[in-house]
A and B are shown apart, each in its own frame.
Chain A
Amino acid sequence: MDLDTLDIARWQFAITTVYHFLFVPITIGLSAIVAGYQTAWVRTGHEQWLRLTRFFGRLFLINLAIGVVTGIVQEFQFGMNWSDYSRFVGDVFGAPLAIEGLLAFFLESTFVGLWIFGWDRLPPRLHLATIWLVHVGTVLSAYFILAANSWMQHPVGYRYDAVTGRAELTDIVAVLTNRVQLVTFPHTLLAAYMTAGAFVVGVALWQLSAGRSRPGADRSEDRGMFRSAARVGAVVLVVAGAGVALSGDLQGKVMTEVQPMKMAAAEALYDTEQPAAFSLVTVGSLDGSEELWSLRVPHLLSYLATGDLDGEVRGIDDLRAEYEQTYGTDPGAAYYSPGDYTPVVPVTYWSFRLMIGLGVAGVAGGLAVLWATRRGRAPSSRRWVWLGVALPLMPLLANSFGWVFTEMGRQPWAVFGLMTTERAVSPSVSPTEALVSLLALTGVYAVLAVVEVRLLLHYVARGADPHVEPRLRDDEHDPERPLAVAY
């Protein structure tokens, strides 16, 4: 097999990033839902909210741990595998990354320690504030890292310095309010809430339809509690899902303006059309250049891309000719590689559809759960277990396909219009080194996935612990009392 460092580095980035982002949305969304449960407990004193806080809190922590440790790789692999990228963009791209660390990572990791171990050390309201601060940390983190990514999709607030041969920051506000960022951030954040909502619904459904109650527990009380959990999760899923659709629609229009090739590749649209139809599925050649059969919705692509039912959508062939004019010739030869400006169309075409399809299916599942739990009902048939298993996977995989689409749709660029991916890779890293890294990280990640899933299933099956009222420590009078939470 003839692999060069570039291919290996791309695979590593894809694998480690998609893997990391399985945990990120659950961390973002579930921290908010757990904080919501704990708020309900602090305000009402109703013990079911505390039990749910602890139950979902533990699942949240199991998930968070992998998100945190795989995030370490993300911070360093730009320098390790993409050193020329780092040299070229560090002045612009490094700033949001560093700010993310200082504002978000410290907040998240410090307050999560306070939340885990603080049950018997902090007064209830202060303890509640710690989990909300964890959530704030996750949202800030999302903001800055998405600002960095948005800059790669649509570079703004910089100038190209021919002497140093790098992009240099001229306007940090422009980078942080990039128009791509302003639609990407809500889209991604809402997708995270959607994912966590689906996760909560899935777990609650499992408890309702297959869970056995713990010895001594009141089965009907637990059913009532998990019915509430299912409804909270379903509401979050459906409302956030609607927001994901709206923000995604806005995102498509911005994308058509700043990266028209990505929109053309999303539809495998080779020739410019006006009006343009959207194909739900196509049977034909893999790259969509020849089709045997397709199911098409007339005018829909025009609407998605331009907001106008009769809008013109430019095709891949036209755009490629234009890109060759703009980027294909000198003087920018140092950073522009002439040639094929077409992304890998089968990947963009199908990942775009899978993203949308799985998202819509997730919302439909959420609506079904709301219907099944209406007016005091709770599903108990074993058939619901399957929805419980499938539902969390839908938005989870939709997230992955969304990232695959947006990153593959940007190719061949690392930074759109400025730097191709092939020029971004580290020149000093040998294919052997890169392969060792890819295999080591993939191997470790695979083992961790097995461990994580087993742990999660174990704690899901175990159900919620009985209610225990938190009690503040009084070390002067009771110095030997065991810790409320200990590793």
Chain B
Amino acid sequence: MELTTVWFALIAVLWIGYFCLEGFDFGVGMLLPVLGRSEAERRVLLNTVGPVWDGNAVWVLVAGGATFAAFPEWYATLFSGFYLPLLMILVALIVRGLAFEYRAKVDDDRWRARWDVALVVGSFVPALLWGVAFANILHGVPLDADSEYAGGLLTLLHPYALLGGVTTLLLFLTHGAVFLALKTDGPVRRDARGLASGLGTAAAIAAVAFLSWTQRDTGDLASAVLFLGAAVALVLGVLAVGVGREGWAFVGTFAAIALAVAGLFAALFPDVMPTTLADGTGLTTTNAAATSYTLGVMTVVAAVFTPVVLAYQGWTYWVFRQRISVHHIPAAGRVPEPQR
């Protein structure tokens, strides 16, 4: 296999890792006011992802860095082209990360309420916009002869892209609800299960519509198989949570996201950013790629260290495997508000 194909696949793997892991963090963040009716319950939600959210978030940084190294043209065109949506995502990720870390640092209701808003909005914006961004990559955007983005902000908003955004939003909400059903106990667990079934049904409808649309426009045999697998995994996952098999349900939503993203990349290949302009130059795995020397160096590094990363991240989930309920939440630190 060509190194450019290997790196296309590796970048797909990084995005799959990001959406499968950070996806449930986004879901938990958005469900905070829904499933966390008391302060103790909200803290239950936060502590299911507390030890792992930061490690999950790194996947997108590595995806960005790997794209820079392996496909510099793709990195340059994508991030300068999708400028304002990406800026919104960055600001959202900033306030959301701090919400996790700072919310419990001061024992004051207004302080916590503000960080709750930051967490909900900061999870909602990327959950929606990553879907919009990926749909636009697949759909193609106006790239001129120099592969520079020639559209505006509104170019990126069309029905297919919005459907992509709604799909990721609903998928991550479902994934988060299933994760909470798996990781909590008591009323939060019960409510999360109930919510997961409803959200899952909506997510399945959106996903089937979006993936079929994608398959019709740019799909091939591989993407068809992957999309079908994603749909089956999602339906089985939603059914499993309905009958209380939370572990299997999580496997289902995890696999559904992984297969759907894999399918999107399969549908994209060998393009990385097609153009909608007749005289434009679209980007492919070939014309956007770094040299084979750079790709070779990077392949060695990735081959050695990716398994190590997977091992220690997996171990982290094992260390923190215990279900959390309101019994486990210690009293707030009795930290008076900072003096003004």
- CB contacts (< 8 Å) of B69 on chain A: these are 90-91, 94-95, 97-98
> Interface code B272-310, partner A: CB below 8 Å = 1, 0 otherwise?
000000000000000000110110011001100110010
- Which residues of A95-112 have CB atoms within 8 Å of chain B's CB atoms? 95, 97-103, 105-107, 109-112
Size of the B side of the interface (Cβ < 8 Å), in residues, is 76
- Contact call B80/A428, Cβ cutoff below 8 A: yes
Complex Cα distance, B102 from A109, in Å, reads 16
Complex Cα distance, B53 from A444, in Å, reads 21
- CB contacts (< 8 Å) of B117 on chain A: these are none
- Contact call B68/A78, Cβ cutoff below 8 A: yes
Complex Cα distance, B68 from A101, in Å, reads 12
- Contact call A117/B320, Cβ cutoff below 8 A: yes
Contact of B76 among A90, A458, A482 (CB under 8 A): A90
Contacts A76-B90, A79-B76, A428-B80: A69 and B305 contacting too (C-beta < 8 A)?
no
Contact of A94 among B68, B87, B150 (CB under 8 A): B68
- Contact call A483/B330, Cβ cutoff below 8 A: yes
- CB contacts (< 8 Å) of A76 on chain B: these are 64, 79, 86, 90
- CB contacts (< 8 Å) of B146 on chain A: these are 427
- Which residues of B39-83 have CB atoms within 8 Å of chain A's CB atoms? 43, 46-47, 50-55, 57-58, 61-62, 64-66, 68-73, 75-81, 83
- Contact call B79/A72, Cβ cutoff below 8 A: no
- Contact call A83/B61, Cβ cutoff below 8 A: no
Q: Does A62 contact B (CB under 8 A)?
A: yes
Contacts A95-B298, A455-B105: A117 and B51 contacting too (C-beta < 8 A)?
yes
Q: Does A84 contact B (CB under 8 A)?
A: yes
Task: Considering the complex, give the chain B residue whose CB is closest to the CB of A62.
Answer: B105
Main secondary structure of the interface of A (DSSP, over half): helix
Task: Considering the complex, give the chain B residue whose CB is closest to the CB of A116.
Answer: B51
Complex Cα distance, B290 from A87, in Å, reads 10
- Contact call A83/B80, Cβ cutoff below 8 A: yes
Q: Does A293 contact B (CB under 8 A)?
A: no
Contact of A481 among B84, B87, B101, B328 (CB under 8 A): B328
- CB contacts (< 8 Å) of A482 on chain B: these are 327-330
Complex Cα distance, B51 from A105, in Å, reads 15
> Interface code A411-431, partner B: CB below 8 Å = 1, 0 otherwise?
000000000000000111100
- CB contacts (< 8 Å) of A68 on chain B: these are 54, 97
User: In the complex, how many angstroms separate the beta carbon of B47 from the nearest chain A beta carbon?
Assistant: 5
Complex Cα distance, B75 from A106, in Å, reads 21
Report 6 cross-chain contacts, Cβ distance below 8 Å, ordered by A residue: A72-B61, A76-B79, A86-B72, A101-B62, A427-B146, A428-B150
Binding site for B on A (CB under 8 A): 61-62, 65-66, 68-73, 75-76, 78-81, 83-84, 86-87, 89-95, 97-103, 105-107, 109-114, 116-118, 121-122, 166, 168-170, 172, 426-429, 433, 436-437, 440-441, 444, 448, 451, 454-455, 457-459, 461-462, 473, 475, 480-484, 486-487
What 4 A-B pairs have minimum CB-CB distances, sorted nearest first? A90-B72, A79-B79, A94-B69, A94-B68
